[in-house]
Copies of this chain bind each other. A is one copy, B any other.
Amino acid sequence: MNEFNEYFKSAFTVDNVIFGFDEGDLKVLLINRGEEPYKSKWALPGYFVYPNEDLDAAAKRVLDELTGLRNVYLEQVRTFGAVNRHPFGRVITVAYFSLIKISHYNIQPSSIAKKAKWHSISKVADLAFDHKEILEACFHRLKWLVRSRPVGFELLPPKFTLTELQHLYEAILETELDKRNFRKKILSMNLLIDLDETQEGVAHRPARLYKFDREKYEQFLAEGFSFELKESKKKEKKSRSKKVRANIAWKD
C-alpha cells in the first residue's frame, strides 16, 4: 500500500488528554496499563492510528472507545517525536485534548487498560512514557484557551451556579479570581441564560442556576470578536470605509 522506503517509516499514535471537572478539582482521565512497557503504570489513553484513518478521526475514535463520547471539544495540541520516547522502538504521537462533563459518562476501561480513572491534575505524579510532558503541554493549552475564549462550559453540568463556574476557572488557571469582577465579566458576555431556578438542599442562601447559551456562543465565534463594535458605538452615522485596525496585545 505504501511505496515509501521502509527506512523512513515509523509507528504512530494519538494520545488523548481528557479533562474533566468534579468536586472543585480539575481532573484528567488516565488508564492503568495492562501490558508492557510500563505495565501497571498510569498513562494517557492513546492508540495507534489506523492506516486508512485521518488523524483527527483517530483521536475521536480513541475518545469514543474510552468514553462513548462524540461531538466534544477536541483539539490537536502538539506532536511528540523524541527518538527514545518509547522503549520498544520509534513511535511518534500526536497529542489531543478534550473537555467533558464527568458526571455524564461512565468510563469503560478498554482492552489496553486494566482500569481507567480520573486523577486530580495537581496530584498526577509520574506517568508512562513522556506522558507527563504531554499532559503539561495540554494543560498549558487549556489555560490559554480558557483565557482567550469562554470555553469551560464544556466541563460543567447543564445547570450550574456562577460560583461553580468561577471555581472551574480558578482550578484551570491555578489562581484566585475576584468574585465581583468575575461575575461582571461573565455576565457582560451574555452567554449565560438565567434559568430562574435556585439550588436546593444547600445549607445556606441558594444560588441561582444558569445554563450556557450555545447559540450565542456560535454567533460569537462566527463574528470573530469583531473590532468594529467599539467604533460603531461612537459614531453610528459614519458607516463608510471602516478600516479595521489590529490590536497588538503582547500579553501571554
Q: Which of these, B4, B11, B55, contacts A8 with CB under 8 Å? A: B11
20 further A-B contacts with Cβ under 8 Å, apart from A9-B11, A51-B83, A146-B248, are A2-B10, A4-B88, A4-B91, A8-B11, A8-B12, A8-B51, A9-B9, A10-B10, A49-B92, A51-B90, A54-B82, A55-B82, A79-B94, A147-B250, A148-B249, A148-B252, A173-B246, A175-B244, A249-B249, A249-B251
Q: Residues on A close to B: CB < 8 A?
A: 1-5, 7-12, 48-56, 76, 78-83, 88-92, 94, 146-150, 169, 173, 175-178, 182, 185, 189, 224-225, 243-252
A interface SS class: loop
Q: Please state the number of chain copies in the assembly.
A: 2
Q: Report if A48-B8 is in contact (Cβ < 8 Å); known contacts: A55-B79, A81-B55, A175-B244.
A: yes
Min CB–CB distance A17 → chain B (angstroms): 15
Q: State whether A147 touches B246 (Cβ < 8 A).
A: yes
